[in-house]
Homo-oligomer: A and B are copies of this chain.
Amino acid sequence: MLIATPQSMHFADALSLQSGASIRAYDLSYETYGTLNADKSNAVLICHALNASHHVAGVYADQPKSEGWWDTMIGPGKSVDTNQFFVIGVNNLGSCFGSTGPMQNNPDTDKIYGADFPVVTVEDWVDAQARLLDALGIQTLAAVMGGSLGGMQALSWTLQYPDRVKHAVVVASAPNLTAENIAFNEVARRAIVTDPDFCAGHYAAHGVLPKRGLRIARMIGHITYLSNDVMNDKFGRQLRAISKAHASGYQFSTQDVEFQIESYLRYQGDKFSEYFDANTYLLITRALDYFDPAAQFKGDLSAALAKTTAKFLLVSFTTDWRFAPARSREIVKALLDNQIDVSYAEIDAPHGHDAFLLDDARYMGVVRSYFQSKVAS
Residue of B at shortest CB range from A231?
A: B179
Is B194 touching A212 in the complex (CB atoms < 8 A)?
yes
Q: Is the C-beta of A184 less than 8 angstroms from some C-beta in chain B?
A: yes
CA distance A200 to B220 in the complex (A): 23
Q: Which of B119, B178, B282 contacts A231 (CB 8 A)?
A: B178
How many chain copies? 2
CA distance A179 to B180 in the complex (A): 20
Q: Please give, as numbers and ranges, the residues of chain B lying within 8 Å of A21 by CB-CB distance.
A: 252
Is A180 touching B223 in the complex (CB atoms < 8 A)?
yes
Q: Is the C-beta of A40 less than 8 angstroms from some C-beta in chain B?
A: no
Q: Which of B179, B234, B254 contacts A236 (CB 8 A)?
A: B179
The A contact surface, by secondary structure, is helix
CA distance A286 to B191 in the complex (A): 21
Give, as a whole number of angstroms, the nearest-CB distance from A234 to chain B: 8
Q: Which of B177, B183, B194, B258 contacts A265 (CB 8 A)?
A: B183
Is B261 touching A282 in the complex (CB atoms < 8 A)?
no
Q: Please give, as numbers and ranges, the residues of chain B lying within 8 Å of A178 by CB-CB distance.
A: 228, 231-232, 236-237
Residue of B at shortest CB range from A218?
A: B187
Residue of B at shortest CB range from A121?
A: B252
CA distance A195 to B216 in the complex (A): 11
Q: Is the C-beta of A275 less than 8 angstroms from some C-beta in chain B?
A: no
Is A223 touching B259 in the complex (CB atoms < 8 A)?
no
Complex interface: stretch among A129-137, A156-164, A287-295: A287-295
Is A265 touching B187 in the complex (CB atoms < 8 A)?
yes
Q: Please give, as numbers and ranges, the residues of chain B lying within 8 Å of A248 by CB-CB distance.
A: 18-20
Q: B-facing mask of A277-314, CB < 8 A → 1, else 0?
A: 00100110110011010010000000000000000000
Q: Is the C-beta of A111 less than 8 angstroms from some C-beta in chain B?
A: no
Q: Which of B19, B179, B189, B191 contacts A252 (CB 8 A)?
A: B19
Give, as a whole number of angstroms, the nearest-CB distance from A255 to chain B: 6
Q: Please give, as numbers and ranges, the residues of chain B lying within 8 Å of A253 by CB-CB distance.
A: 119, 286
Q: Please give, as numbers and ranges, the residues of chain B lying within 8 Å of A176 by CB-CB distance.
A: 237
Residue of B at shortest CB range from A19?
A: B252
Q: Please give, as numbers and ranges, the residues of chain B lying within 8 Å of A18 by CB-CB distance.
A: 248, 252
Q: 23 A-B pairs, CB-CB below 8 angstroms?
A: A19-B248, A20-B248, A119-B253, A119-B254, A177-B237, A178-B236, A179-B228, A179-B236, A179-B237, A180-B228, A182-B237, A182-B262, A183-B262, A183-B265, A186-B261, A186-B265, A187-B265, A190-B219, A190-B266, A193-B255, A216-B216, A220-B220, A258-B289
Shortest 7 CB-CB distances between A and B: which pairs?
A19-B252, A254-B282, A179-B231, A119-B252, A179-B235, A187-B219, A179-B261
